[in-house]
Structure 1
């Protein structure tokens, strides 16, 4: 489950990076055309990044909320729990075999 969440967050970060690059290209074009000054372009890119980070935080919270709804209060066994139970079962089977 955590792997799935990590992949979703990574995808979001990848999109954010791609979007940043696209925004910078757009801003560079606007500066070249004289429609925006260099100072304005820096402020514009900063504002876009800020909004992107806010959106990313909202998406992460939404994903976490949805995962929590699916998982609920269920207690899931971890790999360590299962390995511990398997060792215990092996011990019990050994005892049973020795007592026969």
Structure 2
């Protein structure tokens, strides 16, 4: 079973896009062919799903880091940059209003 598990894990990225139902079907097929003991099937499914979730999380983190890096290299303003500019604009508008004084029309 250990060798079978290693083969399954070696699927790598493929495991992150496989549904639980698909994993269960493959494991059930292994049980039917006698390549896996029935009492080991649930544990294998759980480990494969867990591994898929871990890989999906790692891929998500990697992609987020890469997007942040590219946006930074392109000097795209962050949300904090925009909020800071909005605050500065509001403060400047207030100062302009104070300097203009009350308007009489």
What residue ranges of structure 2 are gaps of 5+ in the alignment? 1-14
Higher helix share: 1
CA distance in 2, matches of 1:77, 1:96: 30
Using the size of structure 2 for normalisation, the TM-score is 0.54
Q: Residues 59-98 of structure 1: matches in 2 within 5 Å? A: 59-72=59-72, 76-78=78-80, 79-98=82-101
Paired residues, number: 85
User: What is the CA–CA distance in structure 2 between the aligned matches of 1:83 and 1:72, rounded to whole Å?
Assistant: 20
Specify the alignment match of 1:26 in structure 2: 26
Counterpart of 1:12?
A: none
Q: 1:71 to 1:38 in 2, by over 3 A?
A: same
Report the Cα offset of residue 86 of structure 1: 3.0
Question: Which has the bigger relative contact order, CA under 8 A and spacing at least 6?
Answer: 2
SS at match of 1:72: helix
Which consecutive residues of structure 1, in runs of 5 or more, have no partner in the other structure? 1-14
